[in-house]
Amino acid sequence: MDIDWHCMALKRRRSIPFERHFQLTVYPGGPWWRVITAPFSHSDWQHLIDNSLAFIPLSYLVLANALKHYIAVWMCVILSNFFVLFFWFRGYHGISSVLYGLVGYLLFIGFLEKRFISIGLTVFTAITYGYYVPTLMPGVTSSSIRWIAHFGGFVAGAIAALGMFREDRKSS
């Protein structure tokens, strides 16, 4: 079992302080609460900066639609992390699953709502972040990147979009 899979990468790069004492990785058979903390764990400063550069605008785009939609994406992604915890053979960390959840939400919400702003968000996301989609498949990214977290996050985002669409239709 490869519990501390990212420690090898840490030896090659400058790491975040406390990296060995503050491990938040989700891994098979690990503590359940790490499905919540894994998005806040990064192997080094570059990993944190790269994810932040995508996270901030994607968060803004989802929040432009509604706060409850943003919360729904986060909740669905955290629930998808349980799949890794219980069924997957390798661990992961980082906010990538949330990034892919936000992309999944934004790509699907325009097709569901058919409102001008939602369609605009979907088109903008497809143009700007469309390169995320091929990395949902195994073998496209390097072996150190857990495609299953990306895939789970993307599906969770699509489910959040569908759920919020249905919720909004009920209340109107």
Q: What is the percentage of the chain residues whose pLDDT exceeds 90?
A: 31
Q: What is the DSSP letter of 145?
A: S
pLDDT tens for each residue of 69-86: 999 999 999 888 877 777
Q: Comparing 172 with 154, which gets the higher pLDDT?
A: 154
Residue 108 lies in a domain: yes
pTM of the full predicted structure? 0.78
- Among residues 88, 94, 115, 80, the alpha carbon closest in space to that of 28 is found at 88
Average pLDDT over residues 24-36: 71
Q: How many domains does the chain have?
A: 1
Q: Is residue 2 part of a domain?
A: no
Asked if residue 134 belongs to a domain, the reply is yes
Closest by Cα among 126, 153, 151, 127 to 141: 151
Q: Residue 160 sits in which domain range?
A: 7-171
Check the CA dihedral 58-59-61-66 and report its sign: positive
Residue 127 maps to a domain: yes
For tokens 């699907």, what's the residue?
Answer: 108
- Looking at the chain, the number of H-run helices and the number of E-run strands are 7, 0
Residue type for 43, please?
S
Q: What is the CATH number of the domain that holds 158?
A: 1.20.1540.10
Give pLDDT, residue 42.
64
**Higher per-residue pLDDT: 2 or 153:** 153
| Average confidence (pLDDT) over 144-172 | 86
Phi, psi of 92 (to 5 degrees): -160, 170
By percentage, how much of the chain surpasses pLDDT 70?
73
Residue 112 lies in a domain: yes
